[in-house]
Structure 1
Amino acid sequence: MPVLQGEQGPVWRHRTTKAQWLGWLGWLLAAMVFVACWQIMTVDTKWFFVEDAPKQAADLFSRAWPPKWSYVNTLWGALWDTINIATLGTLIGVIMAVPVAFLAARNTTPSHLVLRPFALFVIVASRSINSLIWALLLVAILGPGILAGIIAIALRSIGFVGKLLYEAIEEIDESQVEAVQATGASRAQVIDYGIVPQILPAFAGISVFRWDINIRESTILGLVGAGGIGLQLQSSLNVLAWSQVTVIFVLILATVIFSEWVSSTVRKNII
């Protein structure tokens, strides 16, 4: 904090005059960038439709309310499919992510030149492609249905679980591993008794957290034909049955809240 000499003695300031001018210059540049980006984004905007948006939104909400609660009886099967997609996809993804994580971790990979880069590539590739895109590709290959949704969730989960898990492996206490190695244990025994007990809480927390995320993602996979409640949502949107759409939104919200409660409860008891 600079001290400037004034007529009445030292004057404390948070920044020097030069730093203040640089700060204002930074804000000016940020404002100019914002204005330029705004002009680029809105160059094709039809402002007539923007002005009419409140009226259209009010009309849509008037048709969506009250919800058609009798429609909920036809959604239980689709909701169960959604939960199965998330659960089975998470399970498959976790099983596939475990060996990838051990190959990616510096302290457990058997090859730093070949296997570790390959494992890191798998993690990055999985995390780079959204589950909706995976589902779109798999529906084109396997056909519509929940199988495409399950595999899409699994492929997306590998990168998430693998990254967090291999970071947890690299952060273990190496003294415990050295103690197990000192007994003459094999490599598999070292992993089983020296590494796995240390990462088990993190592994459980990561898996449950990913399942919670997959519940959210699986609700929209039906929009591309991958099954679940998203398929019912797409059907209702196609016929402009807004009162049915409201029921689906409420059911999705309730499911997500329930999965969030399950996730937080399990992680609180494990970690």
Structure 2
Amino acid sequence: MSKLHADFYADAMTQVEAVITEQQLIAEETYRVRVSAASIASTAVPGQFVMIRLASRNSPLIGRALAIYDVIDDSDGKPRWIDLVYIRKGTLTQALAASPLGTQVTLWGPLGNGFSDRPCDRLIMVAGGIGQTPMLLLGREALGNQTFGDGSRQNGWASQVELIYGARRESLLAGVDDFRNAGFGLTLCTDDGSVGEQRLAPDVLAERLSKLTSGETVRVATCGPEIMMQKVAEICATAGVDCQVSMETPMACGIGICFSCVAPIKMDAAEQDGSEGWDYKRTCVEGPIFDADKICWH
């Protein structure tokens, strides 16, 4: 596992004044917005995020962190647009949902690190709530369907990709057709049984891992409610499976200045120096992706 350090300060980010070119309701209170931001689209990797704010508004003054859901090429095959998925809930997202096409937004990004491109036979992604948002790019890269970033990452590093996606009810599942069309295996779970299996997503994962064939290498990536990710991490630890989590810690600045998004992370032996064995790390610059065995869940 990689040593934790702030390799992902915002030095390489760009600030973009962009316009909304598409806006679509894709699930209950859940929207997908498309903005023209070529400098971000061309450098982003799966798991990174942007900060967004409405250029014409001072309330809220700070931006909102949103994972990059999709990268769309222009007719010349060059990345030009990014899609962001959000739930209409707070001041900014309510205003964003009400914004007509052509509304100007300010973006800065791409920010944070990204999921590893460590090769495996099988990638299993486990998402809950709005945690499916970083998974589309990751799965496409793993299957070799799309290349992201500056060309330093490999693609086609997994033979199979599956998304296990859970929500309270069917109406809250967002982007299901996008994952199907990307060629992922897809298992839906709902608390009320309105679609798919009436089970918790981590329980489905545990069943998958119990049926692995000898010698099959598996990686797990997860994002969603913390209690769900903790359960996924525990299942993977028991099975000896490589697992990464995307932390959804609330952020204010997104660039490592305000220390509002810290998470308790275990330190390597060389880093401890008589300490308690863990320290707070900023999710925005040392995450949001962490190896699951580094998280102090208690």
Q: TM-score range by the shorter chain?
A: under 0.3
TM-score by length of 2: 0.19
Greater length-normalized contact order (CA 8 Å, ≥ 6 residues apart): 1
Structure having the larger proportion of residues in helix: 1
TM-score by length of 1: 0.20
